[in-house]
Amino acid sequence: MSAPQAVPSPALADILVEDVARSFGSVHAVRSVSFEARAGEVTGLVGPNGSGKTTLLLMLATLLVPDRGTIRIGGHDPVTESAAVRAQLGWMPDVLGAWPNLTVRRSLELTARLYDLPRPAAAARAEELVELVDLVELADRPTRVLSRGQKQRLSLARALVHDPRVLLLDEPASGLDPGARIALRVLLRRLAAEGRTIVVSSHVLAELDELADRAVFLEAGSTVSAERVEAARVAERGWRIRAIDPAGLYRALVDSGVDAARIVTEPQGLVVPLAGDERAAELLAALVAAGIRVVSFAPAVGDLEHTFLDLNSDGEEAR
Ligand SMILES: Nc1ncnc2c1ncn2[C@@H]1O[C@H](COP(=O)(O)OP(=O)(O)OP(=O)(O)O)[C@@H](O)[C@H]1O
């Protein structure tokens, strides 16, 4: 992820959100959110619990009316042109509201019929989708028997039924085992490469790091500014270093100016706080020049997680 924050530029935006707000009584769930999402890209929505991600997605999905601001999906307004928006949009909620007694196959057929597909086309689409999300073996079981991860996959299949150009996914990876997560990532990257616009909210930041082309950070219902995100991204973070000779590595780190009191020993290596890629590159060069046989040298957490944690610690200090 090289460009972590979406910067609005309406000409390129497939989804455009400008200064959107929504309250529930006295609770300001979304205070001021602005961002864009582009076709062919996966945009990640990142924020702590209660920061307004689901409320925002519901407004994009035409299911909740904003109190203020502008939303455009492919140029259409979800409030005044909800039919046009729904026709091009697939929505995967965080909890599947399935028809419990219908089979997986029937529930997909029925969803396709609701999108006006004729009966044979709906059956064929259901068949394609159970294969796509790997539910063939469960296709004739009622949806109530599905596990959480299997329900997530059915929910994704339902979102894809009408081959939408825009996909909104609320926590799609939650409940998925590691294999299913990789399959989801591969599928979403493929759908984006086909030119779709994909917005994903997730707490699984390592997952989003590999999936998202850009990220929008939310904090207490507002988008975090690009400047703050960049400052958090380049702030000091732990780098994990492993060498053939750990004791030699430790000595070389101290000789290179790293504060011994801040070196943390972990089973997978020594963790050292470093600010910025330049400093990391210098230290690696110094270790190699000192004859240390370095096996691995990488940030201890991914870009998104580091930025998220740094922004949150900012927020804590401000409170
Ligand atoms: N229908 C509602 N009525 C009252 N308050 C609500 C309603 N929906 C959301 N909220 C409140 O709005 C805030 C934002 O909630 P939202 O579900 O959008 O956050 P989120 O970022 O999706 O959280 P999480 O990561 O936990 O899913 C929370 O304080 C929540 O309690």
| Extents of the domains making up the chain | 10-224, 236-318
pLDDT of 173 reads: 86
In which band, very low, low, confident or very high, does the pLDDT at 314 lie, cut at 50, 70 and 90?
A: low
pLDDT of 183 reads: 86
CA of 220 to the centre of ligand 1 (A): 10
Same fold, 10-224 and 236-318: no
Using CA atoms, how far residue 12 sits from 39, 95, 164, 197, 258, in Å, is 8, 31, 19, 12, 45
**pLDDT at 2 exceeding the cut of 70:** no
- Please give the class, per CATH, of domain 236-318: alpha beta
In CATH terms, 10-224 corresponds, of 1.10.150.120, 3.10.450.50, 3.40.50.300, 3.90.1150.10, to 3.40.50.300
Residues with C-beta less than 6 Å from any ligand 1 atom: 24, 27, 29, 47, 49-55
- Enumerate residues 6+ apart whose C-beta is below 8 A from 167: 89, 90, 92, 159, 160, 188, 191, 196, 197, 198, 199
b/e code 192-208 from CB counts within 10 Å (16+ = b): beeebbbbbbbebbebb
DSSP 6-37: ----GGGEEEEEEEEEEEETTEEEEEEEEEEE
The encoded tokens of residue 294 equal 């370095």
Distance separating alpha carbons of residues 58 and 153, to the nearest angstrom? 20
The encoded tokens of residue 216 equal 């929008």
Q: Looking at ligand 1, which residue's alpha carbon is closest to its atom 27?
A: 49
ipTM of the complex: 0.96
Distance separating alpha carbons of residues 318 and 295, to the nearest angstrom? 39
pTM of the model: 0.84
Are 64 and 58 a contacting pair, CB within 8 Å?
Answer: yes
Backbone angles phi, psi at 292, to 5 degrees: -75, 130
Q: Looking at ligand 1, which residue's alpha carbon is closest to its atom 25?
A: 49
Across the chain, what does the average pLDDT equal? Answer: 89
**pLDDT at 276 exceeding the cut of 50:** yes
